[in-house]
Chains A and B, each alone.
Chain A
Amino acid sequence: MFIRRLTTRAFRNLAAATVEFHPSVNVILGANAQGKTSLAEAVYLLAALRSFRTSQLRELIRHGEAIAGVSAEADDGGVIQNFAVELERGPSVTRICRYQGHETPPARYAGKLRAVAFHPGDLGLVAGLPEARRRFLDRLIFSVSPAYLAEYQAFQHSLRQRNSFLRQGAPDMELLDVYDEQFVRLGAVVMERREKMIAELNEAVDRHYASVAGDGEKPGVRYEPGVSSGLAREGSAADWLRAALERGRPRDLERGFTGDGPHCDDLDLQLDQKPLRKFGSQGQRRTAVVALKVSELEIIARSPGPRPLLLLDDVASELDLRRNRALFEALSVHPAQVFLTTTELSHLPLGPATEFREFAMEQGAITQARDRRGTESP
C-alpha cells in the first residue's frame, strides 16, 4: 500500500495543495519551521488518527479555521483506496473519517491504513517516563490486535471505578471483592497481551541491536509488571495480580488508589542485563530506540493488514553516520513507502541506486518536486 496523492486543507501552516508522492521514498527538504513535519504529520494523521507531535489535535487545525482536512488516494496492489480525515473544532476536536468516500466510525477506520513514525521525541523513550513506554507498547499492541483497544479501555475504566470506590468512607468489603475480581480479570488480559508483545520485541530487538550498534553487547527488552516487588509470581497473571491486590488492600484503602496493576507496568531496555535507563550512555540509548523502532515496524509489517507507511521525521540529523546507515539498511528490508524530512540531503544515507522524490518546502508550500537517485556517491 502506498499513498499516490495527498491533499490537505487548513492543516497547520500548510498551503492547501495536492502532493503527488513517490511509491517508495519521499524526501521532504527544507529549513526549520517551513512545514516539513506538518506534511509528515498529515500523512500520519490519515493512518493513525492522531499526531506523533502532540496529543492536542486542535493544534492541527489552522488558527481561525473550524475544520482541517487531509485526504489521500492510496494504491493497494493496483486497487485504489480513498482515505479522508477531518478535524472539527469544538469543545473537543471531532474526528470524521471517510473510507472510499463513506463516513466510517474511527474504530472501524483504524487499521485500514497503517503507519509507523519515528521522530526526535522518541529518542527519549529509553530514559523517559514509564507512561511513554507503556503508551509505545500499548499502541503497538493496538496496531497488531485491534481488539486490545476495548480490553484496555475496560481495564482503565475498572481502575477508575476501583479508585473512586476506595476513596469513599467505610467501603463495603463485599463490593471491594467485586472490584478486585473485575480488576484482576481485566488487568490480567492487559498483562498477558503486554507480556506476549514484549517477548516479540525482545526477539526482534535482539536481531536489530547488533546491526545498529556494531558490537557484541547483548540487548534485552524485559517486562516489569506493576506488581510491587517482593511478591514472587506463581501461576497465571490473574493469580499473581489477585495476590498483590489482597496483600496491598490495607495500603490501597488508606491511600485511596490502587497501588498494583498494569497501570504501573514498565518496559525495561537492558544491555548485558543492566537497565539502559540507569546505566546506558546516550549513544547506547539511541541505538536501543533505533532497534526498538525498527522492531516495531517489523512486527506491524508481519501482522495481518496493509503494509505500514514509514515516517522518519528529522531523525537522521540526530543520529551519527553509523547508526543512520544501520537504520536505513534495516529499514530497506521492509519495502514500505517512506517519508523522510530533513534539513540537509547529505544527512540521509540513501544508496546510489535508491530512487526517491525530493520535495523542497518553504513557508508551508512545496516549491519544487523532482525525482532523483541516491544521496551518496557510488
Chain B
Amino acid sequence: MADPIQQLTAALARLPGVGEKTAQRFVFFLLADRTGAAREIAHALARLADEMSLCRQCGFPSQGELCAYCSDPRRDGGLICVVQNPQDVLAIERTAEYRGRYHVLHGVINPLEGVGPDRLPIRELLARLDGVSEVILALNPTVEGDATALYLQRLISPAGVKVTRPATGVAVGMGIEYADKATLAQAINSRRGMG
C-alpha cells in the first residue's frame, strides 16, 4: 500500500483544475487541520459515492430513483429543458424563472472526441415526449452544442413538440463595452425591432 500522503495527492490530482501542487497543498492542509476536516470530507465523499446515483428519468444526480426536480409535483411536466451538464441545471435554477423539468445529456455530440448520439441519453429523452408541449435546448452556443441542438430538433419536431433555444446576446447589467466581440456581433446581427 502506498504512503497515504502520496495516495491522496495522486487521487486529488485527478480532479479537474487540480494539479500536483494544489493536490499537495490540500493534503498538507488536511494533515495539519485539527477540526476533523479530513474525516468530515471522507464521510461526505463516501456518502456521495454510496448514496448518489443519476435520476432514472432526467439524469440529474439523485439520492433516490427520481431526482428532486422530477419528483416535485409542482413542476410543469409539459416543459423539458435539455442541458449539457448537471451544473447547468443549478445555473438555471438560480434564476428562479423556470418551473419545468430537465434532461441532462452529460455531454454533447462530438465526433472529434468520439462521442456519437448513441453515447448520450437521447432515446431516453424521446421516450419522455408524451404529454410534453415544449423542449428548451439550453445547450452551450459552441459548434458542438449547436450541432447537438440541431440534431435533437430534427428528432423532436416530428413528434409535434415545440422546440426552442435560449437567446444569446449582451449580458444583462453589463455594459456593451464589456461584451466580447463575438457575443456583441451576434447580438447586433440578431437585433429585434422595438414596439
CB-CB under 8 A from B14, the residues of chain A are none
When each residue 305-335 of chain A gets 1 if its CB lies under 8 Å from chain B and 0 otherwise, what string results? 0000000000000000000000000000000
A-contacting 9-mer, from B25-33, B88-96, B124-132, B148-156: B148-156
Q: Does B12 contact A (CB under 8 A)?
A: no
**Total number of A residues with any Cβ neighbor in B under 8 Å:** 24
Smallest CB gap from A172: residue in B? B117
Interface residues of B in 132-146 (CB under 8 A from A): 143-144, 146
Known pairs A161-B110, A161-B143, A174-B151. 15 more at Cβ < 8 A?
A: A147-B182, A147-B184, A150-B185, A157-B143, A158-B143, A161-B144, A164-B111, A168-B111, A168-B116, A172-B117, A174-B154, A175-B116, A177-B154, A178-B154, A179-B147
Q: Does A81 contact B (CB under 8 A)?
A: no
Q: Does A136 contact B (CB under 8 A)?
A: no
Smallest CB gap from A155: residue in B? B143
Smallest CB gap from B180: residue in A? A107
B175 to A: closest C-beta gap in Å? 14
Interface residues of A in 123-149 (CB under 8 A from B): 146-147, 149
How many angstroms between the C-alpha atoms of A149 and B183 in the bound complex? Answer: 12
Q: Does B172 contact A (CB under 8 A)?
A: no
A138 to B: closest C-beta gap in Å? 16
When each residue 99-120 of chain B gets 1 if its CB lies under 8 Å from chain A and 0 otherwise, what string results? 0000000000111100011000
CB-CB under 8 A from B150, the residues of chain A are 178, 181-182
When each residue 11-25 of chain B gets 1 if its CB lies under 8 Å from chain A and 0 otherwise, what string results? 000000000000000
Please tell me if the beta carbons of B112 and A160 are within 8 angstroms of each other in the complex: yes
When each residue 170-192 of chain A gets 1 if its CB lies under 8 Å from chain B and 0 otherwise, what string results? 00101101110110001000000
Which residues of B pack against A, CB within 8 Å?
109-112, 116-117, 143-144, 146-147, 150-151, 154-155, 180-182, 184-185
How many angstroms between the C-alpha atoms of A324 and B94 in the bound complex? Answer: 65
Please tell me if the beta carbons of A175 and B117 are within 8 angstroms of each other in the complex: yes
* Chain B interface, DSSP helix/strand/loop, else mixed: helix
**What are 30 pairs between A and B in contact, CB < 8 Å?**
A107-B180, A107-B181, A108-B180, A146-B181, A147-B184, A147-B185, A149-B181, A150-B185, A151-B182, A151-B185, A154-B143, A160-B112, A161-B110, A161-B112, A161-B143, A161-B144, A161-B147, A165-B111, A172-B117, A174-B155, A175-B116, A175-B117, A177-B154, A178-B147, A178-B150, A178-B151, A178-B154, A179-B147, A182-B150, A186-B143
CB-CB under 8 A from A164, the residues of chain B are 111-112
CB-CB under 8 A from B109, the residues of chain A are 175
CB-CB under 8 A from B110, the residues of chain A are 161
How many angstroms between the C-alpha atoms of A177 and B154 in the bound complex? Answer: 10
How many angstroms between the C-alpha atoms of A164 and B110 in the bound complex? Answer: 9
How many angstroms between the C-alpha atoms of A154 and B147 in the bound complex? Answer: 12
B179 to A: closest C-beta gap in Å? 11
How many angstroms between the C-alpha atoms of A147 and B180 in the bound complex? Answer: 9
CB-CB under 8 A from A186, the residues of chain B are 143
